[in-house]
Amino acid sequence: MTEEKRTTGSIIAETELYGAHNYHPKRVVISSAEGAVVTDPEGRRYYDMLSAYSALNFGHRHPEIVAAAKEQLDRVTLTSRAFHNELLGKFCKKLCELTGKECVLPMNTGAEAVETALKAARRWGVMEKGIADGEQEIICCDGNFHGRTVTVISMSTDETARKAFGPFTPGFRVVEYGKAAAIADAVTANTAAVILEPVQGEAGIIVPPEGYLKEVREICTRNNVLMIADEVQTGFARTGDMFACMHEGVTPDIYVLGKALGGGIMPVSAVVADRDVLGLFEPGSHGSTFGGNPLACAVALKAMEILVRDDYPATARRKGEKFVAALREIRNPEIVDIRGRGLLVGVEFSVPAAPYVERLIENGILAKETHERTVRFAPPVNISDAELDDALQRIKRALTR
């Protein structure tokens, strides 16, 4: 009996019937993909201008990363941390070299890495700063997006993310993003850390004022407070530097990393810091069955190799400048702002952006609105110049009134 051909409509219907509706995706099914181009079941081709929220900095199915995964699949994929594996040490060493830090704690998802960083900061606050256990405070910023766990949404100011999920985890002080003085005013003797995104992605590609990160760094140093940079979305060349904090020459005490670290194949995340922070963990105090597994390490090692070898930060800077310049040529009075850094770009409208996203899809461009009025663009860093030129022409058609 011949299997019935699956179509975009039938696939979406099945997903909506059996899956929880915690997402409302656009009505596009990606059935195959290579590089910056994806194809649906009917053969329609699109440029992926979202890159899985920056997890696909290398594009879809980068051949070298796929080869590294296939090779590791034939060896060993999972050991748990009950035993050693051959690649974890290499992975940690390479990530330390990239960040200039001394120690890595591997996890899987970005939210797990954020949780790990919060635990590390609270423990440091007690064991190093002398804060009474249970009194530690962490300063965060309004408009933040750090994940979906109960503790992480306890920091959120997005009521959609918080509704009916209480009670929330205490110990957070929320201040205005982009205003260093607000952080300085919020510091108390119990402050263990400040956590922020160098560029706020989910909030609508909000770029802080120049000098903000340097001021935050100085405030943290002066008050003996850890600076935590959530670079899950901005890290690994997305903004034109290896890490977005480097734009201002700032080194945080803790990097929270993920998304692109997995090369578009595996969920891989990590917390990276010096030993005076991560050395406070002892066996049994924290862990992850899949964290640091050999398959994840294999793809992350190859991804980091490509990042450095092919100078992805410089590529993102150059292509980002071209992207923004092309967007500024669009004549549309409903566009009120174009902002971003590197290949993380937002176009804000005076009206809801969803209709423009539909027009983009009709023109073969996959993008997504965020915070209702902003379209986020984040193409793969290795999109070819010819593909980028073609995509920009399609974007211009879609966004021109």
Q: At 369, which amino acid appears?
A: E
Phi-psi region of 166 (alpha: psi -120 to 50; beta: other; left: phi over 0): beta
The sign of the torsion formed by the CA atoms of 25, 30, 35, 36 equals negative
Reported confidence tier of residue 3, pLDDT bands at 50, 70, 90: low
Question: What's the average model confidence in pLDDT over 26-37?
Answer: 98
pLDDT above 70 covers a percentage of the chain that reads 99
* Gyration radius (Cα) of the chain, Å: 21
Task: Tell me the per-residue pLDDT of 56-106, one tens digit each, with 9 for 90 and over.
Answer: 999 999 999 999 999 999 999 999 999 999 999 999 999 999 999 999 999
pLDDT at residue 1 in the model? 44
In the chain, what are the domain boundaries? 30-61+312-399, 63-309
Whether residue 189 is predicted with pLDDT greater than 50 in this model: the reply is yes
pLDDT at residue 167 in the model? 97
pLDDT at residue 401 in the model? 85
Please state the length of the chain: 401
Q: End-to-end CA distance of the chain, in Å?
A: 50
Task: Tell me the per-residue pLDDT of 113-163, one tens digit each, with 9 for 90 and over.
Answer: 999 999 999 999 999 999 999 999 999 999 999 999 999 999 999 999 999
Task: Tell me the per-residue pLDDT of 203-238, one tens digit each, with 9 for 90 and over.
Answer: 999 999 999 999 999 999 999 999 999 999 999 999
Give this prediction's pTM.
Answer: 0.97
Can you name the residues that pair with 230 across neighbouring β-strands? Answer: 256
Q: Hey, what are 130's tokens?
A: 């002398």
pLDDT above 90 covers a percentage of the chain that reads 99
pLDDT at residue 5 in the model? 83
Report how far residue 49's alpha carbon sits from residue 149's, in angstroms, rounded to the nearest whole number: 27
pLDDT at residue 4 in the model? 72
My answer on whether omega of the bond before 41 falls inside 30° of 0, hence cis, is: no
Report how far residue 104's alpha carbon sits from residue 26's, in angstroms, rounded to the nearest whole number: 37
Question: What's the average model confidence in pLDDT over 16-29?
Answer: 96
Whether residue 185 is predicted with pLDDT greater than 50 in this model: the reply is yes
Annotated active-site positions, please?
145, 230, 259
Helix (H, G, I), strand (E, B) or coil at 391: helix
Please check whether residue 53 is in contact with residue 259, taking contact to mean a CB–CB distance below 8 angstroms: yes
Give the dihedral of Cα atoms 76, 81, 87, 89; nearest 10 deg: -170
- CATH superfamily, domain at 30-61+312-399: Aspartate Aminotransferase, domain 1 (3.90.1150.10)
Q: What value does the mean pLDDT of the chain take?
A: 97
| Topology of the domain covering 63-309 | Aspartate Aminotransferase; domain 2 (3.40.640)
Question: What's the average model confidence in pLDDT over 275-295?
Answer: 97
